[in-house]
């Protein structure tokens, strides 16, 4: 009888699909590996949350693990997974060397989510009021950590083609270590489309995004201080509803019903909120990766207006689900047009559905991804021989990070 292969996912947090795109992405990966026949254990050092998904309902084992503790060595050796998936590079830093030491034959995969060095470099450039350049990413300390993690892993899953190209050209990463795997979605059928609310049945503008994510908080400030006053002059009765998980007091203080600016907090059902809105506003001024809020807008048949960073790597050669502009006046004009012009709105809606079906339909990726995993499991030794820099970094990590972690563990016992 053939033994079922095991996958260990080491999560930065427990998945919260209703709080962030990252949570939804993780559930998509779990489904893909289950389809490939893997028995999955999800482990994390994070505290439980009220909004985390019930992993048992997905037939996934849940295990709490501890940072800087040899109890993980015992756990991972006993589990003996064929594949280990690190959720963001920070988890590979903490646990990668332990996996390499206790399960040397396990395929190590990094899910990057987005390139942290790119997001942080853009954020710093924005806050310093200067133009961002690709060279800024090279100056980020976090880039050294992130790139080292990518090199140590056997494969890194990339959600953005722009970021893949950045890694290959700026950081000289061998493309054999990178794999493009965007959001894996159900295609939008005619039957699904026909159930969506019509232009006439919808009202108001909406923004939605997790407030623990700095680009979202910045975008809401931008809306409140700059864009919404201009937009309200042209549409005096318009309302903007702001939704998002984990709103802080500073977010709630922006609530101004008299100005049509409503801070709603966490959405009980994000799809319902976006489906009932007529237009999504997403003026993101920095960030990286693929924007879950804009994918969600397309799935809900809701046109959007965003920036070049917001739309980065999302549409390929297809027309956008609305408008893309970095100019405040053009952004405002586009919002008014989309809100009032039903014919234009319907064209934008169809554009979004085409993007989902032609670029994010899971059936476009799942067979090739399964083949990639099988190939790497069968050719792991040669794959690692071809990645000498990764082996070099793994060697030095084992002799440095290992002893730092052992020191912390010993100190914690005192």
User: For residue range 84-129, what is the model confidence (pLDDT) as tens digits?
Assistant: 999 999 999 999 999 999 999 999 999 998 999 999 999 999 999 9
- Is residue 413 pLDDT above 80, yes or no? no
* Of 3, 87, 10, 4, residue with least CA distance to 43: 10
pLDDT tens sequence across 167-181: 999 999 999 999 999
Fold agreement between 6-184+365-413 and 190-360: yes
> Residue written as tokens 């059936």?
363
pLDDT at 270 over 70: yes
At residue 391 the predicted structure's pLDDT band, cuts being 50, 70 and 90, is confident
The pLDDT > 70 percentage for the chain reads 96
Mean pLDDT over residues 275-295, rounded? 97
pTM: 0.94
pLDDT at 19: 84
In Å, what is the CA distance from 226 to each residue of 189, 218, 258, 329, 390?
Answer: 38, 12, 17, 10, 47
More confident residue, 275 or 409: 275
Specify the pLDDT at position 403.
65
414 vs 256: which has the higher pLDDT? 256
In this predicted structure, the answer to whether residue 402 has a pLDDT above a threshold of 70 is: no
Structure tokens at 409: 């563990």
**What pLDDT does 309 receive?**
97
412 pLDDT tier (thresholds 50, 70, 90): confident
Is 273 strand, coil or helix?
helix
Q: Which residues contact 320 (CB under 8 A, 6 or more apart)?
A: 304, 311, 348, 351, 355
Residue 1 has pLDDT above 70, yes or no: no
Identify the pLDDT of residue 108: 98
Question: What are the pLDDT digits (tens) for 239-252?
Answer: 999 999 999 999 99
Question: What does the buried/exposed string (b/e) look like for 71-85 if buried means 16 or more CB atoms within 10 Å of the residue's CB?
Answer: ebeebbeebebbbbb
Residue 269: count of CB within 10 angstroms of its CB: 9
Strands of the 240-243 sheet, one edge to the other:
261-265, 240-243, 205-208, 279-282, 304-306, 322-324
- Give the CATH number of domain 6-184+365-413; options: 3.40.50.720, 3.50.50.60, 3.30.70.3040, 3.40.50.2000: 3.40.50.2000
Long-range contacts (CB closer than 8 Å, 24 or more residues apart) made by 336-341: 336/231, 336/234, 336/235, 338/278, 338/279, 338/303, 338/305, 339/205, 339/235, 339/238, 339/278, 339/279
- 83 vs 146: CA distance, rounded Å: 20
Q: Is the pLDDT of residue 347 over 60?
A: yes
What confidence tier does 226 reach under pLDDT thresholds 50, 70, 90?
very high
pLDDT of 393 reads 83
Residue 294 neighbours by CB distance under 10 Å? 25
- pLDDT score at 193: 94
Percent of the chain with pLDDT over 90: 90
**Which pLDDT score is estimated for 399?**
64
Domain-wise residue ranges, the chain: 6-184+365-413, 190-360
Mean pLDDT over 185-207 rounds to 96
Q: Does domain 190-360 have CATH number 3.30.450.80?
A: no
- Condensed to tens digits (0 to 9), the pLDDT of residues 300-321 reads 999 999 999 999 999 999 999 9
More confident residue, 326 or 20: 326
């Amino acid at each position: 009888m053939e033994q079922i292969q095991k996958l260990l996912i080491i999560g930065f947090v427990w998945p919260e699909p209703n709080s962030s795109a990252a949570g939804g992405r993780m559930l998509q990966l779990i489904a893909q590996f289950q389809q490939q026949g893997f028995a999955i254990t999800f482990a994390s050092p994070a505290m439980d949350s009220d909004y985390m998904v019930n992993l048992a309902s997905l037939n996934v084992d849940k295990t709490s693990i501890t940072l800087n503790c040899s109890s993980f060595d015992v756990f991972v050796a006993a589990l003996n997974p064929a594949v280990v998936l690190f959720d963001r590079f920070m988890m590979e830093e903490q646990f990668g060397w332990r996996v390499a030491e206790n399960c040397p034959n396990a395929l190590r995969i990094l899910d990057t989510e987005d390139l942290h060095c790119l997001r942080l470099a853009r954020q710093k450039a924005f806050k310093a009021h200067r133009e961002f350049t690709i060279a800024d990413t090279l100056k980020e300390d976090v880039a050294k950590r992130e790139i080292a993690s990518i090199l140590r892993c056997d494969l890194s899953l990339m959600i953005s083609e722009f970021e893949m190209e950045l890694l290959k050209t700026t950081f000289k990463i061998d493309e054999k270590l990178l794999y493009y795997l965007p959001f894996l979605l159900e295609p939008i059928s005619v039957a699904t489309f026909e159930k969506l609310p019509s232009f006439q049945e919808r009202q108001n503008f909406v923004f939605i995004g997790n407030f623990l994510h700095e680009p979202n908080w910045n975008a809401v400030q931008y809306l409140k201080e700059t864009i919404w006053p201009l937009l309200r002059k042209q549409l005096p009765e318009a309302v903007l509803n702001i939704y998002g998980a984990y709103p802080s007091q500073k977010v709630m203080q922006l609530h101004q019903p008299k100005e049509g600016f409503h801070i709603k907090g966490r959405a009980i059902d994000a799809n319902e909120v976006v489906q009932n809105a007529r237009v999504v506003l997403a003026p993101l001024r920095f960030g990286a990766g693929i924007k879950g809020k804009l994918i969600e807008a397309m799935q809900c048949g809701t046109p959007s207006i965003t920036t070049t960073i917001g739309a980065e790597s999302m549409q390929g050669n297809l027309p956008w689900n609305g408008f893309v502009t970095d100019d405040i006046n053009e952004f405002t004009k586009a919002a008014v047009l989309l809100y009032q012009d039903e014919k234009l709105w319907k064209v934008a809606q169809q554009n979004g559905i085409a993007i989902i079906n032609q670029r994010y339909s899971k059936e476009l990726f799942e067979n090739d991804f399964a083949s990639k995993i099988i190939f790497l499991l069968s050719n792991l030794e040669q794959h690692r021989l071809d990645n000498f820099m990764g082996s070099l970094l793994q060697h030095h990590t084992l002799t440095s990070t290992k002893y730092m972690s052992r020191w912390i563990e010993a100190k914690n016992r005192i």
